[in-house]
Every structure is written in structure tokens, then in C-alpha cells.
Structure 1
Amino acid sequence: MSLNSDEVRRIAQLARLAVDDREAEEFAAGLSDIFDFVEALNAAEIGGVEPMAHPLDAEQRLRPDAVSEPDQRELFQAIAPAVDGGLYLVPRVIE
């Protein structure tokens, strides 16, 4: 599909964009190149190709699910200004 400068000016008018004659010619050429590329992609044979999320068949490396830090809850709550039932109490900020 090929666009000419008149079609580009019409599209620009519909989009309420100001386009002069030089820009209309440049946009027509650029958009025509994009349409040609899309047509070339559509011509590719993709029958029987299964969709995939990633081109490489790789797995995410995960760290082991193991405790790596000691439990310091009592230490942290001992220095907190206000604690009740294992929860930190904070002043109300929203009235």
C-alpha cells in the first residue's frame, strides 16, 4: 500500500495536525515504507508455528527458598516506641 501527500494531508486534517507540503511528502514516503514492510511480514509463511513468549527456551534462575536471616522481631519491637500484640502502633495521620 502506498500513500500520497494528499492522503497524508487528509489524515493530518482529521487528526487536527498542521502539516506543510514538504512534511506531507516526507510522511507519505515514510508511511509507505512502513506499509510495505508490514505487507512483507504478512507474506511470511507461519502455518504450524506455535506462539511463544520468548524466542529462547530458557528458565528463570531462582534462589533456593531457605531462611537466610535470623528472626529479630523481639529485638526490633523492643526498641519501637509503641507495640501492642506484636504490631507496631503508629499515630493516626488521617482524620
Structure 2
Amino acid sequence: MALLHPESDLTMSLVTLGADILRQLHRQKVPVIVDDLLEGHLRGDRRRTPANFFAALDLLYSVGSVEREGYRIRLMTEVSQPGLFDQIASEGNNA
């Protein structure tokens, strides 16, 4: 879970690290090799670790913000995720 301790340093939270990864991807406009993205992430703050990077990347992938293309990561530009009640509404129209 991405919950923080009240006295935690927000710059090291998964959400903040994920936002930095999204910023890097937005600047590139093309899929980025994972190693290049990791290098940029580690340059941002010397306290960052590869484990932080992959945890933030997992979070971004799980919420549908990024997708993998081979060994490259790209920013999702269009989300085609159905709404919570879309299935229920379509079932009601078919009855």
C-alpha cells in the first residue's frame, strides 16, 4: 500500500517517485528503455534506489498509467478502462 507514516519524507513516497517517472516519460514522448529511465530516476536524488524505482513503476503499471513494450516503458495516453457500472447498464439494456 502507498500509505505513509505521518513523519515520512514525502520526496521518497511511491506517489512522488511515480510522479517523477511520469514527468520523465512525458518529456520523452516516445517509449523509453527501462535502464535509461532508471538512470534518470537515480540522478534525481541520491537517496533513491533501484528498489524505489521498481516499486513506483509497479504502482504506475497497476493503476494503468504506463505500459510495457518489450524492454521499453511508455506513458498511457488513452485509457480505455470501463466504468464501474458500464457492465450493469449494458446488461439492463439487453434484458
State the TM-score, normalized to the length of structure 2: 0.29
Greater Rg by CA: 1
Q: Give the structure, 1 or 2, with the largest relative contact order (CA under 8 Å, sep 6 or more).
A: 2
